[in-house]
Structures are given as C-alpha cells and as structure tokens.
Structure 1
Amino acid sequence: MKRRFTEHDVPDQSGSTVVITGANTGLGYETARALSVRGARVLIACRSQQKAEDAIKRIEEQNGAVDISYVPLDLGDLSSVRQCAEQLQSEKRIDVLINNAGIMVPPYELTKDGFESQFGVNHLGPFALTGLLLEKLAKTPSSRVVNTSSIAHNVGRINFKDINAERRYSASARYSMSKLANLLFSYELQRRLEAASLPVLSVACHPGIASTELDRYMPFVLSKGTELLQPLLNTAAAGAWPTLCAATSGDVVGGGYYGPAYRFETAGPAKKVRSNRASRDTAVAERLWTLSVELTGVNPSI
C-alpha cells in the first residue's frame, strides 16, 4: 500500500451497497457509520432489531440523513442465515459483504444447529452467508468479501478430531481456532474465486486490540487489565480502520490481510500485514472448506 489507511482515506461510496454483520455496536458500528457518511447504502445484519435501530438513530443524530437499514440475522442459526441471504437477494446490488460479527471466549454452549458456539458463529455462519450471497456479489464487478480475523489466530489450530469441543473446552483456544478458520476460509475463497475467474475479491483484516464489547465474557481480572491498558488500545473507531481499508481501498489485493501498523499490530492506522504459516496451509484450508460445506449444507458455487 502506498500509505497507511485511516477513516479519512475512505473514498466516496455513493451508489454502493455494503452488508455488515454485527454492526449495531463496536467495530461494526464504526464501520457502518463511516461508510454511510461516505454515501454507501449500509445494511446492518444482526440479531436484535432494537439494537440495530438504536445504532441507526445514533448515526443519524451525528450525521443527518443516511441510507441504513436493518436485516435480521442470527449467525448461530443456519435457518436465519438462509433467510437473511434470501432477503438480501432483493437488493439491486451488493458491493461488499463484511463478516464482522463474532463472539469471544463465552462459556461453553452450542448454536441452534449444535455447533460449538465460537466455531459456529465466527466461522460456519459467515461461511454459509458468504456462500449463499456469492452469486449476488459476482454480479457486481469488483465486489468484495471481508472477513474479520484477529491476532489470536497466531496461537490457533483447527481441532478436526473434536470440532465441537465435546471432549474438552477451552474458551480462548476455541476463539483462536475460529479466528484461524476465518483466515483459512478467506485465502481458500480467494484461490477458488481466481480459479473460477469471478470478479470478487476475498480479503481479511484484524483490528489489533480495540476497545469493544467483545470482552464481556472475560474474567474480571482480565477485564480490569484491559481497562488499565485503555490508553494504549485502539478505540472502536480506530479498530475499524483495517476493515474500512479492506472494504474500500483501491490498493487492496485479493487474498490480502490488513491490520494496524503500530505496536506489533495492536494499534494505529491500517496497512498490509502477514498472517502466520498455519493460516496459509492449503491442505488444512481445503479440509476446512469441505467440512464447512458438510456441516452447513451450503456449497459455494465455485
């Protein structure tokens, strides 16, 4: 990239339509705000209509009339994912799908479809939504899929032998696994898009360490530590810069990964970064893709 990227570098988005999952709070909210201010039609896909409407109201109060709407989506329920994708088919176009929503280190629980919640919500739900919208995205030249990973991917591994943590559950290990899955999916998707000559880019990003609501499940001691480190962390608005970069920058390349430039990728403006070796293991990526198709029943048309 020619320069490091912040919200001020977001180009005019007039005429574009962007779907953002989990955009009622945190990074997703800041992404929705920034893109709507630049003229994009923004669709907030999340579980709570009330929270989405509250987010839209806050954005409108700050910036005046913008084009933002709510679309129901529960990533932990594949029937909801299908309904969301079906509703989105009525849009004239979709330029960018931002898979932003996620959960972090919750107590052990299963999704409605019986998957360990972090793997289900953070990976399988976005995999299914992307697959169901891929044909729609391909109708818009230069469209993009943006998957939000984390620096936690560095310690992740895909536990194929215990995919739903039925033998042992470590919340942090399963979070790292889901974030590694996001990158494996992003890179495999790009390889398949290129092989099929489809005009869609698959891009990944991470926010560094940002002040969001994701840490609500953290133990009290870790939460207090996060509070003490607050001056060193990205705000939610700054944490959204890599997402905005991945979604809008003209310098972005398919299969690229974008994160903060400062303090070992924990804060600052966005730049192109490099993920770990495990995330670029093509054999594991293909195995994860096959498993994801099997578990979700969604086979992307590439």
Structure 2
Amino acid sequence: MPYDTNTTATELVPDYAPFIKEKTILVTGVSPGSLGGFYVQSIAKAKPACLILAGRSASKLEQCAREIHAESSETIIKTLEIDLSSLESVRKAADQVNGWEDVPSIDVLVNNAGIMAVEYQLSVDGFESHFATNHLGPFLFTNLIMKKVLKSTSPRVVIVTSDGHRLSPIRFYDYNFDGGKTYNKWVGYGQSKTANMLMALSLAKKLGVKYGLQAYSLHPGAIMTNLSLHLDWNVDMESLLSVYRQLGEKEGWDDQGFTLKTIDRGTATHVYASFDSSLKANNGAYLIDSHIADPMVDIVKPWATNALEAEKLWVLSEQLVGQEFPY
C-alpha cells in the first residue's frame, strides 16, 4: 500500500528500521515540540548508531537528548550548537563536527532548521534573514562537512523546504529586498524555500554520479509548531493570500485555510526522504506526503526545479559565503 498524506512517522519507522539501524544521522533545528525533535525521537526507536542533534539552544538540545536516551540508551547522542543565521557560527560548528574522531562519517544529514514569515531584518553578515538562515547557513554547513558525509557508504542529504516555494523564485538581483523597500515576509520565505529545492538539485547533480550522494528536498505539510507562534493569523493569512492573488494562484481565493497535519504526519516525509532506497532513481527530487511530487497534482513551480536556476544559485551562494566548492 503506497504512503500518502495520512501516513505517520510512527508507521514508517518500523518499515525503514533496517536502513536506520547503525546509521549516523545529523539533524538541524532540533528542539522540543519541533519537527526536528519529533523526527529524532521517532528514528531513535530503530537504534541508529549515533544521533547528532543540532540547534541554537544548548538547554533545548540537552532536553531532547535526555528524552531520547531514556528510551534508546544504545544510541550515542551528541549535541551541536549552531546558529544558521551566522556564517561564523556555522564555520565553528562545522569545525567541531569535522574534529570529532568518534564520528568518522555521517550517513544522513537533515537540514531541518528554518524560520518563517518574520519581519524584515538582516543577519549579522548582512543578508535578509530568511535567505541567511534557511539557505546560506545550511549551504555553507553542508559543504563544510561534506567530506564526512561522503565517507558514508550511502551518503544522503535531506533539505526541508515547503510548498511555500510557490511564493517566489530566487530574486538574483534583489535577494536582500532593496534594504527592505521591496520586502514582503511571505515572498522572503518563499525565496528561501525555492533555494532549498534548488540546493538539493545541485547536490544531486554535482555529487550524485561521482560520489553516490543522494539529495532530496521535502514539504512536510502545514503543521502548527513553534515556527509560526509569532504570527497573528487573523492578519497574516490575508497577507499570504494577497501574494497568491498577485501570482494568480487559486490559493489566493481560498478562504478555507490550511489542512493541518499532526507533527507525526508532518515528519513522515522526513523518514521517507532519509531512508527510502527506491528514491535513488530520482536523485534531487522534491517530495511531499511520502512520495515524489507530481508537478501536475502537487503544484511544483518550474523555477524551483530548473537546473540553470540551481547552478546560478550555487554560484551566487558561493560568492555570498566567500568560499567555493568546486565539485
């Protein structure tokens, strides 16, 4: 029976247990009550060799580590502080990972951390905060620890994006929104989610054939987590619909709101993307509801699946982080 929108992570973990066991998995954006937190708790039941929990808050990471250890004492659990909005923090965290002699390889890297629809602000490095946190930080971190990922016998990178990629292509000549003058928080979010999908495409193309790396992006669904606690949906829903109306999308005239998933359903595609062996034939794919997205059904924008756009973004990203990764 194929998986669908109702499939849960709890249901999938037993199916993929043989592929999870003895793996080393690094997950960003881990905190209690988050998608990342639930994902690591779920896969811990299948006895991975090592779980590396990465996030901004040391106390929240330790809380998640204690909860996992209480149920899965055989798994080694390591924590890693990282602020993806700061390139300095990213480099420091990558140096730490690369220096761990007891972690010779990383089988699965899940770039799960992100922010959504925040007011305009620049990162410490001078980049619009969505673009910095959701793309440039993960781009740099992934590439800095890539040697350890490629030491795996089955290396895989998973990037959590969103169907919000439909809100904007990459604004190559105005990614910082003209100092805020052209800024819309939903467009800022959309640009960063498009970047997530294009990064997965680039990784698959550059490292797939030569090194066997698999890379996928995924939409977890609409889930009420800490990610949206700052929003006032009485106001922000209308601003979101307004962007869709400007794009001529049917969602702009849909007053029914989102069909929400539970966090268990929301992390199912995380598990599928991380461990499904049949995906290899579709390296770089965008996934939704534990299957490969169908552009005719699932509404996938061509600007997020275009190889030229992906290469242009890769070059721009290298310029912005100040380091080239010539794979």
In the superposition, the TM-score normalised over structure 1's length comes to 0.89
Give the counterpart letter for 1:69 in structure 2: K
User: Which residue in 1 is equivalent to 2:77?
Assistant: 68
CA distance in 2, matches of 1:162, 1:182: 18
Give the counterpart letter for 2:27 in structure 1: I
CA distance in 1, matches of 2:84, 2:140: 9
CA distance in 1, matches of 2:318, 2:56: 23
Shift of 1:209: 0.8
Which digits, 9 at most, give the CA deviation of each residue in 1:74-113, with x for residues without a partner? 1011111111111112222100110000000111111111
CA distance in 2, matches of 1:220, 1:210: 14
User: Which residue in 2 is equivalent to 1:24?
Assistant: 31
1:276 and 2:285 aligned: no
Question: Are the counterparts in 2 of residues 36 and 68 from structure 1 also a CA contact under 8 Å?
Answer: no
Runs (4+) of structure 1 exceeding 6 A deviation are none
Describe how 1:38-57 pairs up with structure 2 within 5 A.
38-40=46-48, 41-57=50-66
Which digits, 9 at most, give the CA deviation of each residue in 1:133-164, with x for residues without a partner? 11211111211000111011122211112111
Question: Are the counterparts in 1 of residues 8 and 266 from structure 2 also a CA contact under 8 Å?
Answer: no
CA distance in 1, matches of 2:65, 2:236: 28
1:37 and 2:45 aligned: yes
User: Which segment drifts farther, 237-246 or 155-164?
Assistant: 155-164
Name the Cα RMSD after superposition.
2.1
Question: Are the counterparts in 2 of residues 47 and 74 from structure 1 also a CA contact under 8 Å?
Answer: yes
Describe how 1:66-145 pairs up with structure 2 within 5 A.
66-89=75-98, 90=100, 91-145=103-157
In the superposition, the TM-score normalised over structure 2's length comes to 0.82
Describe how 1:114-193 pairs up with structure 2 within 5 A.
114-165=126-177, 166=179, 167-193=181-207
CA distance in 2, matches of 1:201, 1:222: 40
SS at match of 2:104: coil
Give the counterpart letter for 2:192 in structure 1: S
Structure with larger Rg = 2
Q: CA 1:125/1:273 → structure 2, altered by over 3 Å: closer, same or farther? A: same
Question: Are the counterparts in 2 of residues 19 and 98 from structure 1 also a CA contact under 8 Å?
Answer: yes
Question: Are the counterparts in 1 of residues 169 and 304 from structure 2 also a CA contact under 8 Å?
Answer: no
Q: CA 1:291/1:231 → structure 2, altered by over 3 Å: closer, same or farther? A: closer
User: Which residue in 2 is equivalent to 1:210?
Assistant: 223
Gaps of 5+ in 2: 239-255, 295-299
Kindly tell me the number of residue pairs found equivalent between the two proteins.
287
Shift of 1:217: 2.6
Percent identity (aligned): 31
Question: Are the counterparts in 1 of residues 104 and 148 from structure 2 also a CA contact under 8 Å?
Answer: no
